[in-house]
Amino acid sequence: MTDAWAARTELTAILITVPELAAYTDRWRSVSRSTARPQVPLTELIPPHVTVLVPWVREPTEQDVERLRAVTRSVQPFELSFPTAGQFPNGTAWLRPEPFDAVSALLKTVYAAFPECPPYGGEFPDPHPHLTISSSAQGGPAVVAEAQAALAAVPAPVGRLTELGLWREDKNGVWNQFGAVPLGD
């Protein structure tokens, strides 16, 4: 991700938040900082999450939320685990959500419902679902190796995906949840 993209603020996003992973991932996220906000650790900007869609619509209306509800009704809640670590070419370290195919399908369903909102502004048209544990500035092979060893010793907690969170970023780059859309009927 480019620094210009990371520097944007006051966006909205659809996220899979996994607060039950905070105690597990804070060892990495508390010492990792985004390149756009190097003075603040990731743990203070946003909880552990898998990005579904960012940027979403600038000012979501009830019609936008209903459009999202229409596509999430067909997706039943499921268990979500993070058994492996990896990294992107830029060094960002992440945990892989499983079942990966189900998470990928959910993202693609949401993208299809909001064609006017390309993922990451079109910078990454086919994003790889992940939970960032360390940004590109602090990530890399050492963080991935440490995460893989931690996962082998004590697996990350398993959560249940029951909803998609609706989030807004403030002018300081801190994200706050303003709503949620349940999965399933």
For residues 101-124, give the mean pLDDT.
93
pLDDT digit string, tens, across residues 20-42 = 999 999 999 888 877 777 788 88
Mean pLDDT of the chain: 91
| Residue 28, both tokens | 């990495």
Whole-prediction pTM? 0.92
| Residue 33, both tokens | 């900082």
| Residue 182, both tokens | 């349940």
| Residue 181, both tokens | 């859309």
Q: Which CATH class is domain 3-182?
A: alpha beta
Q: How confident is the model at residue 1 (pLDDT cuts 50, 70, 90)?
A: very low
Q: Is the pLDDT of residue 94 over 80?
A: yes
| Residue 122, both tokens | 């079109």
pLDDT digit string, tens, across residues 152-166 = 999 999 999 999 999
pLDDT digit string, tens, across residues 61-92 = 999 999 999 999 999 999 999 999 999 988 88
Give domain limits for the chain. Answer: 3-182
Rounded Cα gap, residues 34 and 160, in angstroms: 28
| Residue 2, both tokens | 């480019």
Q: In angstroms, how far is the first alpha carbon of the chain from the final one?
A: 36
Q: What is the pLDDT of residue 34?
A: 73
| Residue 17, both tokens | 């938040």
